[in-house]
Structure 1
Amino acid sequence: MLFSKKWDPRGKHCFITGGSSGTGLALGILLAQRGAHVSIVARDKTKLDGALKKLKSARQDPTQVFKAYSFSVDSEVGSAAALKAAAEPHGGRCPDALFLCAGASRPGFFIEHTEQTLQEGMQVAYGAQAYTALAGTKEMVKQGVKGKIVFVSSVLGFFSFIGYSAYSPGKFALRGLAESLRSELLVYGIDVHIAFPATIFTPGLEEENKVKPEITLKIEETDAGKHPEEIAAGILKGVEKGTFHITTDILGHIFRASTAGASPRQNFLGDILLSLIGYIGIPIWRKTVDSQVIAYRAQHAEYLRSKGVPENLS
């Protein structure tokens, strides 16, 4: 990786799901500033219109093409339709890079979930990206495009804790998919990347926090969080460098190095140091989290009683 050519998005067509706000929009603006053609996809037409204006204001070259499309990408059919629409202004050629930012979290206690909410959690956290990757891969292979697929997981794809039983499984699953595709798509010359950002200050986070369990909020108190622009810059930097596992803060770096398994390393000596820090620090952090959860038992019993949920936590 030290001697590989840096990826340059200039003149390339970049397709972004979840591109109407947050990290997706921030990535779109950065790519526009780098001279890329950008297509953003989301459901909300009003938000897309506003986002498109921001993209156009970042234009570097009069030939750049910026488009916004309202599609649902939670199925292969919807994803394929979005990709087909985005390809039309480019002579039918599929995008060179897919940045898969679609997704959302709705925290809650496992005991309160249903079969339906667990399925919805997987669909939003995993399916919305997996189906676009599936449709995009088929088009890239069909057209001989040696492109890039960039998944956006979460630091909760490395570990998890109380409150994220419907969200983390999908983010772990994205890592498994990316690991498989990184190997398989070498056959076609298609690069795969996956990012693991921590807390991002977005309107989605504000909505998430409205329903987030109190104990989950307490555990997250030490997470300073970052703005979408910072996360987007970190993701794009990793893609440009050819990094497979992209992390954007020290917590992510430590968990990445400590749980890398057979994944490609970024820096051999640096990862050894980070792994040592994790070997000492992660068990301490986990012990602290477990202590907070145990101390929450009485309060949780009261919460369940208030909701009319049968419990026996004596």
Structure 2
Amino acid sequence: MLVAFVLISAAIAALLSLLFSSNKHKWSPKGKHCYITGGSSGLGLALAILLTRNGADVSIVARDEQKLRRALDELEKVRQSPGQKLNSYSYSINEAGPAAEALEAVCAAHDGRCPDAIFLCAGTSTPGFFVEESEASLRKGMEMAYWVQACTALAAAKRMARDHFAGRIVFTSSVLGYMSIVGYSSYSPGKHALRGLAETLRSELILYNIGVHIFFPGTIYSPGYVEENKTKPKITLKIEESDEGMQPELVAEALLRGVQNDNFHISADLLGNIFRASTRGATPHNTSVFMDGIYSLFGWIGLTLWRRGVDSSIMGHRAEHDNYLAGKGFFGKSRIQK
């Protein structure tokens, strides 16, 4: 859905982007220290490799030590100079204490200096129907979509402000942080919350000359995507079946390009830009006011049609959904699931 509209408008948008965008890059990773959470796989690993190729010192953090070792081997393969510092750290960063400890360890390897840029790529999704969720699963979803990034951002902001260090903090939300559909009740709220946090910090951290960015990618063909599809409802899969996802390497390039161009909201593709411009609120424009107007016009026409199609698909799924819930013994339950 919306695919035909997007294909028709893509060529126009690409041409206009070339005409009205600036090629001036304001930031380069070469020689800088970049810290990446969730850096052992998916987008985080692809970004770590890209930054290493661009001459950055790279530190990655994740929980699985075996994955970290494999990831570090990948970074070593693209090392640009003997002097580059490439390190990995095993921490669970969904709580403030371990997140702060991880950051301190990363800084210690660089003589106590804070990373120049902190890319928050950690997070997981476990889709499902809201009526089958529990308080525990909803809290877990918020933890793995919001707190896993917010805790590191808190530690980083404190350290940068204390050290008078003009660094950058880069959040990773999702196109589901602009809108949402059936199946993402435990995931999308956290991604929306990251937008709220990033927009607050973009304003507040001006006080300390700290830059803030937030990335809104669509489908990424990563190990995490394979895992989330294991619990994803059939109706969600149907709605997404026409989506054109992206490989992590291309998504990483879009993220880095957005940071280099000093964009606050960063999108990876045309559809992301349409959602961005259509829900921009008071956030700064990307590329140009003109291009955002074009994207917003696409959204005014196309997203209305897309939403109608989504709602129609969901309505057509009612009977099958009732049978699914009946088979799970859902109907007739009187006790509140905790």
**Whose RCO is larger (CA < 8 A, sep 6+)?**
2
Question: Which one of 316, 322, 325 corresponds to residue 304 of structure 1?
Answer: 325
Task: State the match for 1:283 in structure 2.
Answer: 304
Is 1:295 the equivalent of 2:325?
no
Q: 1:134 is aligned with what amino acid?
A: L
Task: State the match for 1:92 in structure 2.
Answer: 112
Task: State the match for 1:271 in structure 2.
Answer: 292
Is 1:24 the equivalent of 2:47?
no
Matched residue SS, 1:210: coil
Structure 1 CA distance, aligned partners of 2:116 and 2:44? 16
Task: State the match for 1:109 in structure 2.
Answer: 129
- Which stretch has the larger CA shift, 64-73 or 89-98? 89-98
Question: Which one of 151, 155, 165 corresponds to residue 145 of structure 1?
Answer: 165
Do 1:19 and 1:42's aligned partners in 2 also have CA atoms closer than 8 Å? yes
Q: How does 1:48-67 map to 2 (within 5 A)?
A: 48-67=68-87
Query: Is the alpha carbon distance of 1:15 and 1:167 closer, same or farther for their aligned partners in structure 2, counting shifts above 3 Å?
Result: same
Do 1:15 and 1:38's aligned partners in 2 also have CA atoms closer than 8 Å? yes
Q: How does 1:149-228 map to 2 (within 5 A)?
A: 149-228=169-248
Structure 2 CA distance, aligned partners of 1:182 and 1:275? 23
Structure 1 CA distance, aligned partners of 2:312 and 2:173? 27
Task: State the match for 2:59 in structure 1.
Answer: 39
Alignment identity in percent? Answer: 55
> CA-to-partner distance for each residue in 1:48-95, whole Å, 9 max, x for gaps?
000001111111111100000000110111111001111111101111
Structure 1 CA distance, aligned partners of 2:210 and 2:86? 24
Task: State the match for 2:11 in structure 1.
Answer: none
CA-CA distance at 1:39 after TM superposition: 0.3
Structure 1 CA distance, aligned partners of 2:106 and 2:303? 43
Matched residue SS, 1:41: strand
CA-CA distance at 1:4 after TM superposition: 7.0
> CA-to-partner distance for each residue in 1:242-275, whole Å, 9 max, x for gaps?
0000001111010001110100001111111111
Query: Is the alpha carbon distance of 1:54 and 1:295 closer, same or farther for their aligned partners in structure 2, counting shifts above 3 Å?
Result: same
Q: 1:15 is aligned with what amino acid?
A: Y
CA RMSD of aligned residues (A): 1.4
> CA-to-partner distance for each residue in 1:168-222, whole Å, 9 max, x for gaps?
0000000000000001001101000000000000111111111110000000011
**TM-score calculated relative to the size of structure 1:** 0.97
Q: 2:255 is aligned with what amino acid?
A: I
Matched residue SS, 1:222: coil
Is 1:262 the equivalent of 2:282?
yes
Q: Which runs of 5+ in 1 are unaligned?
A: none
Q: 1:60 is aligned with what amino acid?
A: Q
Structure 2 CA distance, aligned partners of 1:100 and 1:185? 17
Do 1:304 and 1:311's aligned partners in 2 also have CA atoms closer than 8 Å? no
Q: 2:107 is aligned with what amino acid?
A: A
CA-CA distance at 1:5 after TM superposition: 5.7
CA-CA distance at 1:96 after TM superposition: 1.1
Q: 2:315 is aligned with what amino acid?
A: I
> CA-to-partner distance for each residue in 1:97-142, whole Å, 9 max, x for gaps?
1000000100000000000100000000000000100001111111
Structure 2 CA distance, aligned partners of 1:4 and 1:255? 25
Structure 2 CA distance, aligned partners of 1:251 and 1:165? 22
Q: 1:236 is aligned with what amino acid?
A: L
Query: Is the alpha carbon distance of 1:157 and 1:51 closer, same or farther for their aligned partners in structure 2, counting shifts above 3 Å?
Result: same
CA-CA distance at 1:159 after TM superposition: 0.4
Structure 2 CA distance, aligned partners of 1:311 and 1:131? 41
After TM superposition, which residue ranges in structure 1, 4 or more long, deviate above 6 angstroms? none
